[in-house]
Structure 1
Amino acid sequence: MTPDLFGNAGAYSKVGEAGVLDKMPIAVTDDGPQYTLILGEQRIAMNEFIGQRIRLEHSGRIFCQHCGVQTKKSWQGFCYDHFMSLAQADGCIMSPEKCHFEQGTCREPEWGERNCFQTHYVYLANTGQVKVGITRGTQVPTRWLDQGAHQALPIARVRSRYLAGLLEVLFKQHVSDKTHWRTMLKSTDEDIDLAATRDQLFAECTSELQDLQSQYGLQAVQLIQHADIYTVIYPLKDMPEKFSSFNFDKETVVEGTLLGMKGQYLILDTGVINIRRFTGYEASFNVQE
């Protein structure tokens, strides 16, 4: 047993041992998305704790997700050396239209060939508002679940991450390419006509799309006219009155009744925490008896 915040022993029971946090896997089942909290080698099924009071406590230790070395600060989940040296931490990951492989300056050309030169999709998502995004084909529908999208619609299939980035830049002149976390969490899962938005984008960008297809080929840039809309209902019992965000860099304890999960967020009655943001942070997980 561990003491609670006021030193009252026995208020919480520990679930497993302290471990390093990682992005929560989300399994798609007939009963809806099933969330797993990763603490090192441990896997904790979170859906069963909805409605219970939980506590996550950060030990103060942070580890690089690539090499496992303890670091004083996390640079997007990496130690500083690997943040500066790995291709997966380079700026073109967030801005693929600036692909370093295309420019001949990729940090890890072999990694780029494996990860960037495969089928990617450009999609529209409903995260409380319409946004455009890109993802590898192997990450459908994981990417949409991670973003907390209620709906998603693939609108183009391309041969590389670079080409996906070019399309995203084109489309984001008309729709946002950002997920605003408060808007996403507060959204009531009302449907948006994503197909109508797709048709409007194709019409507004006709000449630019034709130029890209002419330059790279019709097989390299394929527009998707008739895909089905993917819809998600997240495991949420309720929503908090306040949407304050917990930050392990400022506070070591996150405590409250678990209301559910959406995107990579644990939603408590006391606030929310983005688990993916704290990849590499060592924490323990406790449940009130």
Structure 2
Amino acid sequence: MTIYQGNIRKMRVSTDAEHHAQYQLPIGEQFIDMTPLLGKKLNVSFDNQINCVHCQAKTKKSFNQGYCYRCLTKLAQCDTCIIKPELCHYDAGTCREPSWGEANCLTDHYVYLANTGTIKVGITRHVSDAVSSRWLDQGATQAMAIMRVQNRLTSGLVETAMKEFIADKTNWRTMLKGQPDMVDLQQLKEDLITEIEDQLDEITEEYGFQAIDILDLPPVDIHYPVAQYPEKVKSINLDKELSFSGVLQGIKGQYWMLDGDRVINMRKYSGYYLTVETPE
């Protein structure tokens, strides 16, 4: 067995030319290539130590998937407007970290549609090589950027308008239960834009015609390394179950799927100090 130890971060994920997801788990100063471990047994234990993913301070409890309480209350990336971008308050002069907001919020964003088992609307800052890491983190099997907007606030306003007709959340249990039926995202895009035409007009009237650019991009099909989906999802909780072993049967989103219908959201445990044993 090969033994890795250290604080983990959310899995890094990329895609090849055919949009097959490839995963790495950051642990300490190393990276575990996860995709080749499909079908292999893993042993994982939690050493009861959590370090904030931002300041590295020890913390008894993790907030927002890896932050200590102080960082939760101080960092702009942990503010409420990150979850609800329509509440962006940079222009009010109350941004927690204006320089961070300028670099991350006052830049182009993309509004997208995704099939994660249910159809959802979302926003992302990057669509690299036609695929956003956010789509991969959410386990989307289909996705399509439909608008480019001028900043995070505008993306939130558009998303809020669309939420009257489509969900903005991923049902992780549904996402893990199998390959969803294909959906005509292009037709859905056209239908949604028609439904919110008045709201889009109001946004451009207030923020200018450059605020929203409707895109004409094809949908992307994404493939995940899954040999077998769980029939009945059983979630592993490291705060209660300090160790587990199992055969890795698939990876989708930020979840490992193990034998016995067990799953674990690795992103949830960012900052946890783990020992991971893998076959040589």
* Correspondence for 2:74 among 65, 85, 107: 85
Determine the C-alpha separation between the residues in 1 that align with 2:91 and 2:251: 38
How do 1:1-289 and structure 2 match up within 5 A?
Answer: 13=1, 15-30=2-17, 32-76=20-64, 77-137=66-126, 140-224=131-215, 226-270=216-260, 271-287=262-278
TM-superposition CA deviations, 1:127-153 (whole Å, max 9, x none):
011100001036652111111000001
Report the aligned-residue RMSD. Answer: 1.4
Q: Is the 8 A contact 2:255 2:264 kept in 1?
A: yes
Q: Is the 8 A contact 2:109 2:155 kept in 1?
A: yes
Gaps of 5+ in 1: 1-12
The number of residue pairs the alignment matches comes to 275
- Mean CA deviation greater in 250-259 or 272-281: 250-259
Q: Secondary structure at the match of 2:8?
A: strand
Determine the C-alpha separation between the residues in 1 that align with 2:191 and 2:124: 22
Determine the C-alpha separation between the residues in 2 that align with 1:118 and 1:156: 14
Determine the C-alpha separation between the residues in 1 that align with 2:244 and 2:122: 31
Aligned-residue offset at 1:70: 0.9
Q: Is the 8 A contact 1:20 1:63 kept in 2?
A: yes
Aligned-residue offset at 1:48: 1.1
The residue type paired with residue 83 of structure 1 is: L
TM-score normalised over the length of structure 2: 0.94
Determine the C-alpha separation between the residues in 1 that align with 2:127 and 2:69: 29
Q: Secondary structure at the match of 1:71?
A: coil
- Which aligned runs of 4 or more in structure 1 are off by greater than 6 angstroms? none
Determine the C-alpha separation between the residues in 2 that align with 1:253 and 1:167: 43
Aligned-residue offset at 1:241: 3.0
Q: Is the 8 A contact 2:124 2:132 kept in 1?
A: no
Q: Is the 8 A contact 1:57 1:254 kept in 2?
A: yes
The residue type paired with residue 112 of structure 1 is: G
Q: Secondary structure at the match of 2:144?
A: strand
Determine the C-alpha separation between the residues in 2 that align with 1:227 and 1:138: 11
Q: Secondary structure at the match of 2:4?
A: coil
Q: Is the 8 A contact 2:176 2:230 kept in 1?
A: no
Determine the C-alpha separation between the residues in 2 that align with 1:247 and 1:288: 23
TM-score normalised over the length of structure 1: 0.91
Q: Is the 8 A contact 2:113 2:120 kept in 1?
A: yes
User: Percent identity over the alignment?
Assistant: 44
Determine the C-alpha separation between the residues in 1 that align with 2:17 and 2:214: 30
Larger Rg: 1
Q: Is the 8 A contact 1:127 1:147 kept in 2?
A: yes
TM-superposition CA deviations, 1:152-179 (whole Å, max 9, x none):
0111101101100000000011000000
The residue type paired with residue 284 of structure 1 is: T
